[in-house]
C-alpha cells in the first residue's frame, strides 16, 4: 500500500525517543549481554529501515524479525548486524538465508535432517524450545539432545543460539514464568554443544526479571516506548519514551441538529445541536471500527468518535467550530494532554502491540530528531 503523502494524516517518529529507550536498556545490562532489537512488522509500524539506521548508529548488536523477507529487506539495505528470523522458515529457503548471512530459528529435528542437502554455504541456527508458549519449538530433553547431535554431524550448521519465549513475563503473577524458566534451564543444562547465545528475555523479562537476561535480550515493544504489560505493572526501571505519535487534521466541519444521523448504519443520532468534524483517517489506516466511541484530542480536549468509523474517514463531536486544518491527535500529546497507544488498547480490549501494528503503510511517516 502506498503512503498517502498528500493527506494530512501522519505518524511522527521520534528518533531521540528511540535512542533513549535503547540506551537505557543497554546501560542496564551486564557488559557481556548482547542487545538485539526486534524489528518485525515494519518495526511495529515505525518503519524498519529508518529504525534500523538509528539503532545501527548506537551500536545495536543484532536484529530479530519474524520472516525471511523482513530479514532480507534489512540485509539488502546494507546493515551488517546479525539478523535472526524468529518464525519458522521452510527448509527450501534455508540456502537463501545462508547466502545472506541470516540466522534461522529451528523448531524440529526433522528440519535439521532435511536442511543439509539444501545448503551451499554454512547456516547459523538457533534452536527454539517450547517451554510453555505452545507455539513452536523442541519440547523434550530427548529432542534437544537429538538436535545437538544433528548439528554436530553437519559442519555447515553453526549452533549460534538456543532460546525460548515466555508467555506471561508481562504479568504480576510469576508462577507460570518460573515454570518456563525451570523448563528452559533443564532443557539446556550440560548440552554437548556450546551456543554463542542462550536467550529468553523479551521486553517484559528485560524490564522486570533482569536476572534471566542470559547472553542476549530481544528488545521489542519497550524499544518503542510502550509498557509490555499495558501498564498492569506500572513501575518500570527507567522511563520509556513513546516513539510514535499519530495525528491528522479537521478537513470538514458542520453544525448538526437533534435527530440527524451519522455514518453507515445510521448508528449515531445527534441528541441536540452538535458540531461534527470529519477526519481523513479510518479503518483502512488501522483504526478499526471497535474504536468508535473512543476519543481524540483537539486543542487539548477529548472529543469522541461518533458513528461507525469508515474506511477512509471518521467523524468526531467537537465543542466549537474549529478552522479547517486544526490539528487532531490520535496518539501523542496535544496542548498538555496525552493519549497513548495503551489508552487505545484499553478501550479496544487488546494490547498496545496490536494498536501500533495495525497502523497501515497508507499513513505517511515523518521522522524527527
For the annotated binding site for substrate, the residues are: 135, 311
Q: How far is CA 5 from the centre of its chain?
A: 23
Beta carbons of 280 and 266 less than 8 angstroms apart: no
Paired sense of beta strands 216-219 and 10-14, if any = unpaired
Distances (CA, A) of 143 to 91, 196, 198, 324: 18, 20, 17, 64
End-to-end CA distance of the chain: 26
Q: Where are the alpha helices (DSSP H) in the chain?
A: 15-28, 40-44, 48-57, 68-76, 94-99, 109-115, 141-153, 175-188, 203-208, 341-348, 352-358
Annotated binding site: 135, 311
CA angle 340, 346, 348 (to 5 degrees): 105
Catalytic residue status for 264: yes
Query: Out of 252, 254, 261, 264, which one is annotated catalytic?
Result: 264
Q: What's the full length of the chain, in residues? A: 369
115 three-class SS: helix
> Which of 40, 124, 317, 365 is labelled catalytic?
40
**Pairing state of beta strands 62-65 and 34-38?**
parallel
Q: Which residues contact 42 (CB under 8 A, 6 or more apart)?
A: 48, 361
Cross-strand bridge partners of residue 121: none
What is the Cα–Cα distance from 244 to 359, expressed in whole angstroms? 11
CB 246 within 8 A of CB 20: no
Dihedral angle at the C-alpha atoms of 344, 287, 243, 36, nearest 10 degrees?
100
Residue 244 contacts by C-beta under 8 Å, 6 or more apart in sequence? 11, 12, 13, 14, 45, 46, 224, 225, 331, 332, 341, 356
Q: Specify the residue for cell string 549452533.
A: 159
Catalytic residues: 40, 264
Amino acid at each position: 500500500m502506498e503512503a498517502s503523502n498528500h493527506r494530512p494524516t501522519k505518524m511522527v517518529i521520534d528518533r531521540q525517543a528511540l535512542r533513549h529507550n535503547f540506551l537505557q536498556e543497554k546501560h542496564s545490562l551486564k557488559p557481556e549481554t548482547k542487545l538485539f532489537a526486534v524489528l518485525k512488522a515494519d518495526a511495529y509500524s515505525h518503519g524498519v529501515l529508518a529504525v534500523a539506521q538509528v539503532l545501527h548508529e548506537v551500536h545495536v548488536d543484532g536484529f530479530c524479525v519474524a520472516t525471511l523477507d523482513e530479514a532480507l529487506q534489512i540485509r539488502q539495505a546494507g546493515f551488517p548486524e546479525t539478523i535472526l528470523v524468529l518464525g519458522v522458515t521452510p527448509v527450501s529457503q534455508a540456502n537463501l538465508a545462508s547466502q545472506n548471512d541470516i540466522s534461522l530459528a529451528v523448531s524440529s529435528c526433522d528440519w535439521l535432517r532435511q536442511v543439509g542437502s539444501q545448503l551451499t554455504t554454512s547456516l547459523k541456527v538457533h534452536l527454539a524450545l517450547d517451554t510453555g508458549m505452545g507455539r513452536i519449538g523442541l519440547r523434550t530433553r530427548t529432542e534437544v539432545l537429538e538436535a545437538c547431535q544433528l548439528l554436530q554431524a553437519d559442519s555447515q550448521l553453526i549452533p549460534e543460539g538456543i532460546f525460548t519465549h515466555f508467555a506471561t513475563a508481562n504479568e504480576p503473577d510469576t508462577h507460570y514464568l518460573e515454570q518456563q524458566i525451570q523448563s528452559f534451564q533443564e532443557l539446556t543444562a550440560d548440552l554437548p554443544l556450546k551456543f554463542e547465545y542462550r536467550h529468553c528475555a523479551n521486553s517484559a523479562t528485560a524490564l522486570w526479571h533482569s536476572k534471566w537476561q542470559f547472553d542476549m535480550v530481544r528488545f521489542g515493544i519497550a524499544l518503542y516506548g510502550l509498557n509490555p504489560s499495558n501498564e498492569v505493572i506500572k513501575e518500570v526501571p527507567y522511563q520509556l519514551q513513546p516513539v510514535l505519535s499519530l495525528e491528522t487534521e479537521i478537513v470538514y466541519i458542520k453544525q448538526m441538529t437533534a435527530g440527524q444521523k451519522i455514518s453507515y448504519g445510521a448508528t449515531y443520532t445527534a441528541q441536540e445541536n452538535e458540531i461534527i468534524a470529519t477526519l481523513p483517517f479510518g479503518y483502512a489506516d488501522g483504526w478499526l471500527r471497535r474504536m468508535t466511541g473512543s476519543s481524540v484530542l483537539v486543542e487539548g480536549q477529548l472529543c469522541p468518535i461518533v458513528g461507525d468509523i469508515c474506511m477512509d474517514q471518521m467523524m468526531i463531536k467537537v465543542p466549537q467550530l474549529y478552522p479547517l486544518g486544526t490539528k487532531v491527535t490520535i496518539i501523542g500529546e496535544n496542548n498538555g494532554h496525552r493519549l497513548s497507544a495503551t489508552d487505545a488498547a484499553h478501550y479496544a480490549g487488546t494490547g498496545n502491540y496490536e494498536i501500533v501494528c495495525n497502523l497501515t503503510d497508507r499513513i505517511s511517516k515523518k521522522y524527527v530528531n
